[in-house]
Amino acid sequence: GAVVSQHPSWVICKSGTSVKIECRSLDFQATTMFWYRQFPKQSLMLMATSNEGSKATYEQGVEKDKFLINHASLTLSTLTVTSAHPEDSSFYICSAKVRGAPNTGELFFGEGSRLTVL
């Protein structure tokens, strides 16, 4: 099956610094990638949808200036948490749709990135 890789899998940073998380589709092209956030014992919450070569579409309540998303190529999307604060500590997961795949709605997920802001 298609593989989506996230890096780093775990990052600890100081409050006020910025952190970049990468999401790569390893063996397929992804025209659309999604970024989710999961709090403990909570569901996956969609943060934004990014399409290659265009600006990301953010869900209501998600600060686009805080969570910068770049989808510069068909295999890479990045999420940058700017000026991170402890409340940004969470598990961030990306997913991707295979370009040209049948409309199954199936998404391939990365392994997730655990962000801890001190």
Partner 1 sequence: DQQVKQNSPSLSVQEGRISILNCDYTNSMFDYFLWYKKYPAEGPTFLISISSIKDKNEDGRFTVFLNKSAKHLSLHIVPSQPGDSAVYFCAASEGSQGNLIFGKGTKLSVKP
* Residue 109 in the binding site for partner 1 (CB under 8 A): yes
* Residue 41 in the binding site for partner 1 (CB under 8 A): yes
Those residues whose C-beta lies under 8 Å from the C-beta of residue 115, and which sit 6 or more positions away, are: 11, 13, 19, 21, 81, 84, 88, 89, 90, 91, 92
* Residue 74 in the binding site for partner 1 (CB under 8 A): no
Query: Between the CA atoms of 5, 8, 52 and 1, what dihedral angle is there, to the nearest 10 degrees?
Result: 10
Window contacting partner 1 (CB under 8 A); options: 14-22, 62-70, 79-87, 105-113: 105-113
Nearer to partner 1, 89 or 112 (CB): 112
Interface residue list for partner 1 (CB under 8 A): 4, 6, 9, 34, 36, 41-46, 49, 93, 95, 103-112, 114
